[in-house]
Structure 1
Amino acid sequence: MRFPLGRWSRKDVRLHRAEVEANGLKGRLLWADGTPPPGKQAAGNPAGPAYVLIHGIGVSHRYLRRLHCELAAAPTYALDLPGFAGRPKPGRQLSAADYGAFIAQALKASGIDSYILVGHSMGVQFAIEAALYAPERALQLVLMGPVVDSRHRSVLRQGLALFLDAMLRENASSNWIVFTDYLRCGPRWYFTEVPVMMGYPTELRLAGINVPVLVLRGNHDQVAGPEWCIRLAQAVPQGSFVEIPRAGHVVQHLRPQQVADAIRSFAGAASR
């Protein structure tokens, strides 16, 4: 499935923030006007499940902000995870399962009891683990630019794919956000978590998911190739695949309206 091109034109919205903690780990939850603050989500979720945006390694909610704005007509939250985005560094390496447990527990403590997890890059791994941790609350999954592609199973190959994507497929604003977030994360924590990302068995863990899954990529993504993404979509009983034209790995920043349209279309079809 392909979606037409368009320019990002939605007026930016203000994001509110609150600190969240689970299992001794500290992160941050963000939401826009119109989304219930933590602890005040209406019982029964009459507006439907919330979107929860999950960033990848080294970065933060900032490269998801445009997508957040596009989705904000419905309850939408974003997370800054422990060790990233200036959040306190844990005293040990965290597995993807550790991050998944943190996400699920932090959302539960915030009164967010049903949601659609939207992960990007390594955030796909975190989203899968959060869904496995709390399957009764994660109703659908959206996996954007999933890593690690079977073509890039070494750090060198993965690093080269990221470099080529940044140089050839991203724009100046997305690169600025990503690189400045890398600086905020710092090399020590980034390289602490790289082996976790590289060793994560995405296909094996995804096989345990029993809810609808959308795998989404920019059609010029150097990091998550089409064969890999199609294979992931086929690894679950209710999987689908979407490509967004003329976008690279950080597709949600360059084409937020098209990504939001694809997510809303998937969520509506899956709920029916």
Structure 2
Amino acid sequence: MRATLTSEFRLVDGLRTHTRRSADPTAPGTPPVVLVHGLAVSHRYLTPLAETLGTTHPVYVPDLPGFGLSAHPGHSYDLRQHVAHLLAWLDAYRMPPVCLVGHSFGAEVAAALAVARPGAVRALVLAGPTSDPTARSRRGLVGRWLVDSLREVPWQAPILVRDVLDARPWRVAATVAHSVRNAVEEDLVRITVPTLVLAGERDPIVPPRWRAQVTRLVPDARLVTVPGAAHNVLTTAPGPVAGAIRDLLVPTLAR
């Protein structure tokens, strides 16, 4: 069974912002799950996970400024600007504390938001978090992405190409620069909420040493590795990922 998703637009901090969302489930008290996409993509590649999680939790997938169906400002937002916009988005939706799921560069945004406003986050998922210090350069990160493209399932390609064209290649390149300039470790050690570090077994962008380091740096974190998956684990393994997120939320509901 999969949830039905709908699109809506709201003016957030002066910017027309698109959100793909599920209907609220019938069970009261289930925390919302907010999915934050990576630097070259949008809500589209997160749809399989949103449809799977949406059967038990209200799920929201906003497009960050300049990506997907959200308005395209004339400059590329850096990490802190994305955090500020996402905080304004949470306020616009009057969200209770959420489970924040960030993928790739979105994990950097999610980590920084959890530090900036810990009361807004009930639990945190860092999925395929960038960027590994051993490849923290444009050349290093792009090189690993090229390796990953050979490991991903082919049906994703049209979705990813459309997202890059929507965002414009210059914006993607600028966001890569923002990512490699971000010392994510400084945020990781300050996270105070229960955290799941999640990665695909075959993810070359987030190799085993880096995912283990991320897990050690976050004070209350555990690691889940999804067998057979590459970097886009949220797209290609929505069932196991949804199960891991639900497991994370069960203890937090009792707090």
Q: TM-score with structure 1 length normalisation?
A: 0.87
User: Which digits, 9 at most, give the CA deviation of each residue in 1:149-207, with x for residues without a partner?
Assistant: 1221121121111111111x211122221122111111121122221111111111121
Deviation, 1:112, is 1.5
- Correspondence for 1:85 among 61, 68, 81: 68
Deviation, 1:35, is 5.2
2:138 aligned with 1:148, yes or no? no
Which piece of structure 1 moves more, 236-245 or 188-197? 188-197
2:242 aligned with 1:260, yes or no? yes
- Correspondence for 2:199 among 183, 204, 217: 217
Deviation, 1:93, is 3.3
- Correspondence for 1:15 among 5, 8, 30: 5
- Correspondence for 2:105 among 122, 125, 132: 122
Deviation, 1:217, is 0.1
Q: Relative to structure 1, is the Cα distance of residues 125 and 25 closer, same or farther in structure 2, using a 3 angstrom cutoff?
A: farther
Amino acid paired to 1:194: V
For the 8 Å contact 1:147–1:224, the answer to whether it is kept is: yes
User: Which digits, 9 at most, give the CA deviation of each residue in 1:201-224, with x for residues without a partner?
Assistant: 111112121111111000000111
CA distance in 2, matches of 1:196, 1:146: 14
CA distance in 1, matches of 2:180, 2:226: 25
Could you say which structure has the greater relative contact order, defined with CA pairs below 8 angstroms and 6 or more residues apart? 1
For the 8 Å contact 2:65–2:77, the answer to whether it is kept is: no
2:45 aligned with 1:63, yes or no? yes
Which piece of structure 1 moves more, 22-31 or 237-246? 22-31
2:32 aligned with 1:50, yes or no? yes
For the 8 Å contact 2:10–2:18, the answer to whether it is kept is: yes
2:23 aligned with 1:33, yes or no? yes
3-state DSSP of counterpart to 2:71: coil
For the 8 Å contact 2:196–2:224, the answer to whether it is kept is: yes
CA distance in 1, matches of 2:116, 2:30: 21
Deviation, 1:251, is 0.6
Q: Relative to structure 1, is the Cα distance of residues 125 and 180 closer, same or farther in structure 2, using a 3 angstrom cutoff?
A: same
Unaligned runs of 5+ in 2: none
3-state DSSP of counterpart to 2:62: strand
2:117 aligned with 1:134, yes or no? yes
CA distance in 1, matches of 2:222, 2:252: 10
Corresponding position of 1:176: 158
Q: TM-score with structure 2 length normalisation?
A: 0.93
CA distance in 2, matches of 1:138, 1:183: 32
User: Which digits, 9 at most, give the CA deviation of each residue in 1:89-144, with x for residues without a partner?
Assistant: 22333221111111121122112222010010000011112222321111111010
For the 8 Å contact 1:219–1:247, the answer to whether it is kept is: yes
3-state DSSP of counterpart to 1:136: helix
For the 8 Å contact 2:17–2:69, the answer to whether it is kept is: no
CA distance in 1, matches of 2:16, 2:178: 19
- Correspondence for 2:222 among 221, 225, 240: 240
Which piece of structure 1 moves more, 188-197 or 49-58? 188-197
Question: What's the % identity of the aligned pairs?
Answer: 31
Amino acid paired to 1:140: A
Unaligned runs of 5+ in 1: 1-9, 37-44
Amino acid paired to 1:232: V
Corresponding position of 1:186: 168
CA distance in 2, matches of 1:229, 1:147: 9
CA distance in 2, matches of 1:20, 1:134: 22
2:255 aligned with 1:269, yes or no? no
- Correspondence for 1:24 among 6, 9, 14: 14
Corresponding position of 1:204: 186
Deviation, 1:270, is 4.0
